Amino acid sequence: MWVLLGVLVLGGVAGALMRARNGRIRAAKPGAPTLPGRVSGALAPEGVTLVQISTTFCAPCRHTRALLSALADKTDGLTHVDLDVTETPEVAQALSILRTPTTLALTPDGREVFRVGGVPRGQELLEALEPHLVPDSGKRPKV
């Protein structure tokens, strides 16, 4: 009985920790890895490019794709690129990607601004992007 109760408590704690970390924005580590050609070739010439690392059968990746595409369509200086690494796991390995979806915010020169593991939270993502976007008429969408 005590073993069962212990397993349930540990499972609950582990689930709560995973849920809290999902969608959290993490600042880039200094000395970010060199971008694979497939990624650097997808960067926009100005603003920020959100590079979504996905796999074919990832259900949260579809939700992330819809969220990021809509955000990029409504926001000046923001581009969204979705890279499926099912057939090219070396791209994920080179970028130290451990889960999908992972979203990288990259500058035109390939510098990583931040990354998000899991489905991003729209408003938090927009607030984190604000200082890095190209100035415009002051309009920013609410997500």
Report the pLDDT value the prediction gives residue 60, as an integer from 0 to 100. 92
CATH code (residue 98): 3.40.30.10
Which tokens sit at 80?
Answer: 């969204």
In angstroms, the CA 102 to CA 104 distance is 7
Instruction: Report the candidate in 110, 46, 49 with the shortest Cα–Cα distance to residue 79.
Output: 49
Note the pTM of the prediction, 2 decimals.
0.76
C-alpha dist (Å) from residue 20 to 58, 61, 67, 106, 121: 20, 18, 19, 24, 12
Report the pLDDT value the prediction gives residue 138, as an integer from 0 to 100. 52
Output the tens digit of pLDDT for each of the chain's 143 residues.
888 888 888 888 887 777 766 777 767 767 656 677 778 778 888 889 999 999 988 999 999 999 999 999 998 889 999 999 998 888 888 888 888 999 999 988 888 889 999 999 888 888 888 888 866 545 455 44
- Please state the domain count of the chain: 1
Number of H helices, E strands in the chain: 5, 5
Report the pLDDT value the prediction gives residue 137, as an integer from 0 to 100. 46
Domain extent, residue 35, equals 25-130
Residue 137 lies in a domain: no
Within 8 A by CB and 6+ apart from 37, the residues are none
Within 8 A by CB and 6+ apart from 74, the residues are 141
Report the pLDDT value the prediction gives residue 4, as an integer from 0 to 100. 86
Residue 143 lies in a domain: no
